[in-house]
Amino acid sequence: MTFSFNLVLGLFLLAPGLAIFAGVYHGGEQGPIRSPPPPPGSILALAIVTVGALIAHFVGAAVFLIQDVYCAQGGSCLRVSYDPNAYATLFNVALLRQPVTGLEAFSLLFTIIALTAASFFITRRIAAAPATATALRGVLYGWLADVVVASGADEAVLAYVLSDVQDDGTLVGYEGVVANMTTNADKEVTSVLLSSCETFYLRVTASGVLRRKAIRTSRIPQLYLDRSRIKNIAFERVRFKP
């Protein structure tokens, strides 16, 4: 696998956009709910990365433009032996194939790194602001934004997981405390870990749904169920009173 100069250059130019993408998800994640970001090939990810990179470079170019105007109008500027405008250097290298000095290359990379770092921290700050976080919840979490969360030590969220179907049509279910849960980028539940778990059976009849407790001699301290064994899942918040 060989990396062409254009590919490396493209990645460098997209770095601020990727930083903005990371900042949106890192800053928007609040509370215990975690969800993986959308895959890089998704429209949402591409939009955030490309538009974010465009805005970051626009701001970067604007800074150099302001500097040029300020210096051209007689402002106190430090004279250097190279062109400090990283974008001018970039176009010279990429389009005109002109040689660049070490200082120009350093200036270009420093500008991209500084722009990438600033993009990440500023975006994370904005995404973490309460008003923005509320607006982003639906985008970041999808249906998970509405999942109940235990709000205190005297509350817990129980899950009822319907799993395997037996030969006679009876469903095996598990009820327990949600110890952990993972989802994929499409917000599908990929695994759930239940603690203090009880098994039950569910049978759909003409007269209704019958729930029957499984006869067990011991409880299940912890039960891990992966996606293939989760047919349906329901959550319920319960409160404990002395």
Which residue from 13, 179, 187, 190 is in contact with other proteins, where contact means CB under 8 A? Answer: 179
236 binds other proteins (CB under 8 A): yes
* By the rule CB under 8 A, 41 interacts with other proteins: no
Determine phi and psi for 90, rounding to 5 degrees. Answer: -60, -45
Distance between CA 27 and CA 180 in Å, rounded?
A: 22
The residue within the footprint of other proteins, chosen from 19, 48, 140, 178 (CB under 8 A), is 178
Closest among 52, 20, 53, 13 to 37, alpha carbons compared: 20
237 sits near other proteins (criterion: CB under 8 A): yes
10 Å CB burial of residue 80 (0-12, 13-18, 19+) is exposed
Choose, by CB under 8 A, the member of 64, 106, 200, 201 that binds other proteins.
200
User: What does each C-alpha distance from 59 to 14, 36, 70, 84, 122 come to in angstroms?
Assistant: 14, 29, 16, 16, 13
| Interaction of residue 55 with other proteins, rule CB under 8 A | no
Residues linked to residue 55 through DSSP beta bridges, in sequence order: none
Closest Cα partner for 229 from 148, 173, 158, 147?
173
Which of 55, 157, 172, 233 is the binder for other proteins (CB under 8 A)? 157
Half-sphere exposure of 229 (CA within 13 A, CB side): 12
CB of 176 to other proteins, least distance (A): 8
Nearer to other proteins, 125 or 237 (CB): 237
Determine if 209 is a binding residue for other proteins (CB under 8 A). no
Interface with other proteins, residue 227, by CB under 8 A: no
Task: Give the one residue of 12, 13, 30, 33 binding other proteins; rule: CB under 8 A.
Answer: 33
Binding status of residue 163 toward other proteins by CB under 8 A: no
State the CB neighbour count (10 A cutoff) for residue 121. Answer: 13
**Sites of contact with other proteins (CB under 8 A):** 32-35, 144, 147-150, 152-158, 175-183, 195-196, 198, 200, 213, 218-219, 235-242
